[in-house]
Structure formats: structure tokens, C-alpha cells
Structure 1
């Protein structure tokens, strides 16, 4: 491209000064005309070793690319073969959203070339229009020198990102997309036939092993229909949500809780702690008739020297209430439940404090009788809890509980044994497992809440019943009670609304 000592292109650039046309090829016709005029006027002034410079090319000049015959192509990580011939194609016929392009200023171009083994294809519109791909509005320019006129013409050329592919692999995608399962089956059968005919012993042994491990799926659809049909039948026999909740409650050693309770008295209903028919059958009238004779009263209870003073004081106090109250809010004053047995029996002066009734209850005879029944039933539970082996013989248990042989008393013992014991297989004697012993204690705690108006001194109850205080404290917390200080004493208090504590989640593998 050079003649003489200096490059005619450089000399032409120094003389022409058409940098504006090179930076912005998409100028108006007026600017293009003036540039050509300047180039024409400078042509006659070109001397020896000099050349004139003219600029041709804009967006519309891409249609005359055959005249320039030049293009910029980027080959990312390879060089094409030197013998590769490339051709540039217009993209007017390329399909787009509206069909074939009919725009005269369409700059979309294709650059294609090939050899015997490789194919090269590139375009200038992969990332949008040419200006979007370049990132600016200018064009790449190529200078073409004409020695006959000593002129250099700058022409706008497109740029291409060229990708290569191997011709031999071009048919693989179509083969893989058209091949069906039947084709694979035929190919497998043919390979098997070749192995049977020409394979060695190891290949034939492998083929026989595959035959033995083959699963016959001919009847699989019938099996699946039977299987899914069985699922639907079993779904119809699944228990309801209420049945599942009832089953889970019965599997826990805790009494059923009413989480929607508005008052503590509704949290653990008496009907859930003592069956209604058993509650009405408890023989409390003979207790009320002997309230003034402690010795006769002891003969009607499973009383012993280790009988809890906590239960005795509540029972005597409510017997006195039921015998003196006539249904109104008046009546004799009586002791609270904070006294020991001897202290409770000796309190007769006017400084005694009236016991607070249960929430939602009235200070009348029926309330007193209800608490007598609760205290009496709690004494029966205490007896089987302290002597778990006594449940094995029902007749002796009735005698130990000071129940006569009446049908009602037999029902009482039957209900207690049915709730707090189990009968092993191949045996007719009931036993109390660790689960049932915990269940008895949990029911006793719930009954104690009703007797003490849902604020229980658990330490005193534990000492009186000869139970570890930590065990009883944990049971009260499981019932939803919270530790609180009432009157200077630590108590377990049940408040509503309440929630049951969630089971503790330990680390896998236990403690370390």
C-alpha cells in the first residue's frame, strides 16, 4: 500500500483532514457531498509521492460490499486455514418476528466459509444491531489505495464474530433426535447376536447374567392398577383427624387438655379426670355423715399412718363445708389448705380465713360436695400409686380401698384399673408399668389443681405423698403450669390461655 518514501495514506490524511467523516459515517447527504467535493478538489493537487484521501461508506453502503471486498472478522482462539474462502451474504431473507426483512438499510450480514473438514459462520447481529454490538455509533474503516489515481478511499466495513464447527459432527444431533426406542432395541439385539456368534466366554457369560436379571414388565400396568386401587381403598379407611388426636392423647400419660379454655377450671375438665358415671357413684354421703368423728371417717378411707395430710386436710375441710353450707354464700369460716393435718384439725378460733372457691364456682354445698368427690377419688389414686402391686388382685383391692362389695364400688375399681393399669397377654392380673405410674401422678396433679383453686404448693404435696419434688414439679409444668410466688410461697399456677410445652429436641447421638 506504499509508494516512495512516505505512505501516501499518511500524506493524504495530513492533507485531507476528514476525521469527522471517519468518526461519524452516518452523516447527512450534505456532509457526504462536501467530503467528496473536498476529495475531488484535492485530487488535482496531489504531487509525486502523495495521494488524495476520500471517504465512502455509511450504513447504506453495506449494500455495495462487493465493491470494497473487505471485512473485519474475529476468530476467538484459532486461526482458519489459509485456503479458506469466505463469502458475505445479505440477511434480508432471514426470518424475524415479522418475517423476511424488507428494510433497505438492514445491516444484518453473514460471513461464511468452509474447507473439506471445517465450517466457519459468523454474523454481525448476534447481540442486536451493529451499533449495539460495537457499543458506539461509528464504523470500522478500511483504506483502499488506487495506484492509478494515487488516491486512498476509506470504506466502512462490518465486523463479524466467527465460530467454527466440524462438518463430520453436524449429522450427530439429527441422528440422536430421530433415533427411537425401537432403534435402540434393534441395535441392542444386533450387538447381542454378534456377541453370541463371535464373543469370548466372558462376554457370553455377561450376556447370560443380563438375561437372568432382566425384569419382565409385560404385566406391570396391571400390577400398577391393582397397587393404586389398593391405595384408594386404604385411604377410605384412614382415621379422621379427631380420631388421630384422640389416639395420640390416649398414648400420652397426661390427662386430656382443653387448649381453648377460658378459665382454669375448663383446662382439665373434671369429666375428663373422673368418668361421669364413676363421679356420681363415689360413696361420699357416709363421709359427710361422719364428718364430726375423725376415727369413723378414717375407717371409710384407705387410711394409714402414711396417708397424705395434704389430701386429708382438703377432704375434711370440704366435708365441713358441705355439712354446714346450705347453698348461699354465708356459712362457717374454715381453714385454708396451707395447714398440716394437726394444725388443720386444731383451728377453731375466729381468726380462720375463708377458703377461696374455685374460679367459676360458687361457695355453696354443691361446690363443696364436688371437691369432696375429687379429694376422695384422689385418695384412691394415691393408694394404688404408693402400692402398685395391689392392683393385681381386684378383690383385695376393693377391701383395701374400704369399698364394700356393691356393684357401684366394683365399677369404681374397674374404671380405675382400666385407666391406670394394663393386663399382659396370657394373664388375668393387672399390672402398673412405669407409664401408668406416671399417668396416675399426672391425674393426681390435675385433681390437686381443682382442690387448691389452680395454685398448688407442689413441694408440700410432694413431701406429703412421698414423691420426689422434682418429679412433681416437672409434671405440673407438663400440664401447662408456671412457677409463681403467691403469698410468699412458691406455687405452680395454671393460667389461661395456656400452652403445653413442646418436647425437648436433643442432639443426634445423645449428650456428649
Structure 2
């Protein structure tokens, strides 16, 4: 026989040869044993493309082995295995890559029955849960268990709340509960409104100007409001075209007094109202001066302190204009607008500036005890649109709660 030589045939794309060992003993007759190989269909993933399942059957048992589960021996990932095929006549040996499969017997308890009628009736979520139970990762299985426990807890809480609500209704009555809810809503809304003096003798004293702008804050508005004091008709027309300010401010700029303290006073009020409207359109605030350097530091502090709430987001603390803060800003805008325009305002114009639904704006106005009436919109707005007028007049209207009211509206 010629001298033996060998040649490596381990092609990178070729599947390695399977070396099998049976965990429960050795086969006495292996001639009739047949094997079936299942490969992962994902041929791109660097790990999944090498996954294989090997299945074999004997007269007594069926066996299954794979190369990716937790039961695979660690030596598979630390060592490389080869199989050599020797041609005795030529002395040539061809060497191939190999992989060891540990074959486990598949007992009858693990076999899934052919009856799938119960499975077909399950929802998509239930089917996905079954897949996670069988093939999911440890993280997915933990998440499934937590979700199931939360569902059970929610059912228990819901049942307990329903029983408690039924007991309260039986003992107190529906009418008394509606009145209590209406009173609670009024108290919650009033906490976001400017201080109201219901015993005032004049409209000016119902919502005092000093409660909207303190003397120091009013003084700080002198410099930024100079642009409004010195504004010309051409500049107003250009700002209207550019929409650089809210509609209410643009219309009131056309009605500025000719000169004197009254012009300066109205200009300061309009500048602050425009700043409030712009501030209400912000969401998460990370900057110290969100409205730019032209806004006085005292005004910026006032806005951040009185019209934002602190929240923790993405690892940092930031100021947030929540729904309740948006309602508070809207209430102060209405109060200031009443002082600017002789205590009667076009509520629809402010609603469009603040980007609020009409129902929300009306709720705020009614909570401020304003009288609501209908009127046509101002020139330049939507044609023939019916606008709502809000008027502050004495005596203040008394809020009434209907006993048959089933649904309630909230502004916070």
C-alpha cells in the first residue's frame, strides 16, 4: 500500500458531518436507523444559520438532538471535530468538519397530540403566549409571567372597586354623589384660576391686575414692550402677514392709543399676553430661557415657576407644560385679555391662538364665571364663523349643576 496522505475537504459553506451519541446506551444494530436533519431557515444570522436539529427513530424509541440548546456540551464551542475517510487502496484520506449530537429519547409525554381543535379556537395573543412558553427566551418568559400576574391583579382590583362603588351608591344615593363630584371639580378647577374676588364692586377688581402681573414684573416689561410702543401701521401689516404674533395681539395692536401712558400700558400687557400664548405651545422645556434672551429674566422665572410642573425624563429633570398647566395659562390669558379689552373678548380668537378645543375653552370661561354669548368673528378670520363672546359683568353668574347630569367635563 502506498504511503498514506490526507487532504482537507472542509468547505466553509458545506454542512459538517454529524457524529451522534445516544445518552441512554449504545445501539446494537444501526443498519436500519434513519436520520433526518432540520436546518434553520435564517441563512443570514451568524448564529442561527448553523443551527440544526437531528431526529432518528428506532423500533422502540425516537431520538432528538440539536447543536444550540442549553443541553449541548460546552466542548462543542471550545473544540473542533473532524472525520477522516480513508481509501485503503490509494492510501488517500479525506478530512471533513464534524459536529457531535447528543441524542435524547423523546418520551410519549412530550409528543403533541394531533387534535388541534382547541388550539384553533385560541386568540392570536394566546397562541403567541404558547410559542413563548415553548421557544421563548428567558427574558420573554419572565415578561409573560409578569403580564399574567398583572392581569390577575387587575381583575381582583376591578372586582373590589366595583363592589365598593355599588356599596357607596346604595348607601349614599346617586343625586348626592353627583353633587359631591361637581363640588370636587369646582375646587380642582379653582386651584388653576387667577384669584377671584366674588364680592368685588367693579369688574376690574374681580380678577385684579396685580394678581396677573406684580408691580416688579410690570416694570420689567418696559424694555421688551418698546417694540409695540413704537410700532407703525406698516409693521403691523407685515407682522399680520407673517403671523409672528397671535391673532388677538395683532388685532389689538391696531387699536393702540395714540400716545402717553395708556399706550405704554397696553403695549406691556399685549407683549406679556403674546408671551403666555407662545409659552403654552411648548412641551418639555430644558433651557433656562425657552423664549429667548429678549424675554426678561424675571418674566422667565415667573413662567417656569407658575406655569410648569417638574418631571423626570430620560435621566434628567425637566419642566413640563401639562394639561392642567395649559388650562392655567389659558385662564390667565383670558383674565389679562379682559383687562385689555374692557372686559369683553372674542373667546374664539383666543381659543384658536391657544390651540384648544372649543369645549375646553368654554369650560375655562364658565369656571371663571364669565357670560357667554354668540357673535360673528372679526374681519380676516374664517368667513361667517360664529364666534363666542365672553363678558365679565356684575353680578357674577351663579354656577348651577343639573341633577340629571350623567357626564361631566373636566379642564384638567
TM-score by length of 1: 0.36
Greater share of residues in helix: 1
Greater share of residues in strand: 2
Instruction: Pick the structure with greater CA Rg.
Output: 1
